[in-house]
Amino acid sequence: MILQGMLYDEKSSYQKGPALAPPLIREALQSGAMNMYSETGVDIEKVIAMDVGDFGITDYWDIEKITREHLNSSKKVITLGGDHSITFPIIKAYQEHYPSLDIIQFDAHADLYDIYEDDPYSHACPFARIMEHNLAVRLVQVGIRTLNTPQVEQARRFNVEIHQMKDIREVKALRFQNPLYISLDMDVFDPAFAPGVSHHEPGGMSTRQVIDWIQQLDANVVGADIVEYNPNRDFQNMTAFLSAKMLKEIAGKMVISA
Ligand code: MN
Ligand code: MN
């Protein structure tokens, strides 16, 4: 399992900042404030040992090339973002090793716009691109609370399975047939838990809820990203520490489900 960071927020529509996130997440992880075990008892020191560092990105498609190289050597990659636009090139790289891939996306937003502010690769569009290119067999979205008509239409078009925030009452133990990729947009959390995001969308998930959904997944998790942490908006590094916690829990899930 390889850990990589993408210093990239060129496709953020509202505020920049996520390009600064990866080193701060690592710093929180290694600050001594927490140990290196997931709640499920996995020692993630080995994951950290495979940290290949952060990549300054100027060409968007370099994200795909870099990820492909890392997948060739490891088969499983966790990426620290960066804004959510990075997920499309990452998943493009995954296709070679995982022609049948399922994706679960935790997000306040569906990110299914066909185009946003004239950019088809905006952080508001990655899952439209992924589905158009047939890079995912099944896309499940959890925590969504911003659906509008264009995105409802897109969700229908691509057969996206959406667990909207307004309908979430309890954790669902979702089962996936194909290898699973987890895409965690930090704005899925209520801003009270994660103030360091560009788009505050109140009414979100608690830390406990997101961890429960991940721990309950019945799937072989083969990759993940943690995106949209914006240090410029953070308070007392709360969101850096939450990102580090989620990195531990997701890495733990990848080890256990393998
Ligand atoms: Mn997103
Ligand atoms: Mn979002």
pLDDT of residue 86: 98
pLDDT tens profile 157-191 = 999 999 999 999 999 999 999 999 999 999 999 99
pLDDT (average), residues 68-74: 95
pLDDT (average), residues 189-200: 98
Alpha carbon of 73 to ligand 2 centroid (Å): 30
pLDDT (average), residues 64-78: 96
The count of domains in the chain is: 1
pLDDT of residue 49: 78
Ligand nearest to the CA of 187: 2
Alpha carbon of 182 to ligand 2 centroid (Å): 14
Q: What are phi and psi of 19, to 5 degrees?
A: -65, -20
C-alpha dihedral sign at 157, 140, 69, 197: positive
Kindly state the percentage of the chain with pLDDT values over 70.
100
pLDDT of residue 150: 95
pLDDT of residue 127: 98
The alpha carbon of residue 220 and the mean position of all alpha carbons in its chain are separated, in whole angstroms, by: 16
How far apart (Å, rounded) are the C-alpha atoms in residues 47 and 35? 14
pLDDT of residue 152: 97
Q: What is the CATH number of the domain that holds 165?
A: 3.40.800.10
pLDDT of residue 258: 72
**Structural domain containing residue 124:** 2-256
112 in helix, strand or coil? coil
pLDDT tens profile 208-231 = 999 999 999 999 999 999 999 999
pLDDT tens profile 6-46 = 999 999 988 999 999 999 999 999 999 999 999 999 999 88
Alpha carbon of 16 to ligand 2 centroid (Å): 14
Res. 194 pLDDT band, cuts 50 70 90: very high
Number of C-beta neighbours around residue 245 at 10 A: 19
From its phi and psi, is residue 219 left (phi > 0), alpha (psi between -120 and 50) or beta? beta
Alpha carbon of 111 to ligand 2 centroid (Å): 7
How far apart (Å, rounded) are the C-alpha atoms in residues 58 and 164? 35
For tokens 């299914």, the residue is 112
pLDDT of 153 higher than 90: yes
pLDDT (average), residues 69-90: 96
- DSSP for 160-176, please give it: -EEEEGGG--S----B-
Alpha carbon of 111 to ligand 1 centroid (Å): 6
Alpha carbon of 34 to ligand 2 centroid (Å): 27
pLDDT (average), residues 44-54: 88
Residues with CB under 5 A from ligand 2 (ion): 107-109, 185, 187
Ligand nearest to the CA of 197: 2
The whole-chain average pLDDT of the chain stands at 96
